[in-house]
Amino acid sequence: MEMLLDLTLSQFLAELASDKAVPGGGSASALAGAAAGSLVQMVARISLRQADSTELHSALAEAEELTAKLSALIQRDADAFAQVIQALRMSKGTPAERAERSRAIEAAYQGAAAVPLEVMEVAVRMLAIAEAVAEHCAASAISDVCVAGQLSWAAVQGAAYNVKINLPGIKDQAYVEAAQTRMEELLYAADQRKLNVEKCLCQRADAR
């Protein structure tokens, strides 16, 4: 199968619109985060043309790294859920086959929860970078970095749905509880970061 990042935008959207299980909401969430990272980079570069800034150089470097991670997670999320589908289709005719299928399903669901949880981790960090850029960017580009903030926040929210949907399939309750706790922490952090970016927009707009 062709890698999702190798598709044109129209091809990717067609894949997303098809009746196939993957790519789905997890990949779309990672894409939103990657788009946010690209916008953060754009704003940092535009702003650096006007004035040199250590903060913007640092933010640009990290945004590049995080965008690459989120771009890779687009494919990883699709692959992780494909593993769930494959595990569910395994033979269960004998006790040995049923045991092997059960192990495969457990591992697949853990992977399908772990990938969107990683999307959340990276997207929350992207929100922090968007906040830093919003504080130091050119006033003319503040709306763009705020869009990046909204996209990062959406990536966190969307990925959380994908964590939640996979947790019931996991038997390891310690894993489930740890994932649930971390998911809630990241959702809270995302809300706070988004508010901070929005405050920057209000402050910078009022100052113009």
Domain borders along the chain are 22-207
Q: What is the mean pLDDT of residues 78-86?
A: 95
Tokens found for residue 48:
């650096």
Chain centre distance of CA 10 = 21
Please check the confidence at residue 175 and state whether its pLDDT lies above 60.
yes
Q: What is the mean pLDDT of residues 13-22?
A: 92
Q: In degrees rounded to 5, what are phi and psi of residue 7? A: -80, 155
* Single-letter amino acid, residue 12: F
| DSSP state for residue 18 in the 8-state scheme | S
Q: DSSP string covering 69-127, please?
A: HHHHHHHHHHHHHHHHHHHHTS--SSHHHHHHHHHHHHHHHHHHHHHHHHHHHHHHHHH
Q: What is the mean pLDDT of residues 60-68?
A: 97
Helix and strand totals (H; E) in the chain: 6, 0
Q: What percent of the chain has pLDDT over 70?
A: 95
C-beta neighbour count of 182 within 10 angstroms: 14
Architecture per CATH, 22-207 = Up-down Bundle (1.20)
Tokens found for residue 151:
């996209």
**201/123: higher pLDDT:** 123
Provide CB contacts within 8 A for 101, sequence distance 6+: 87, 90, 91, 92
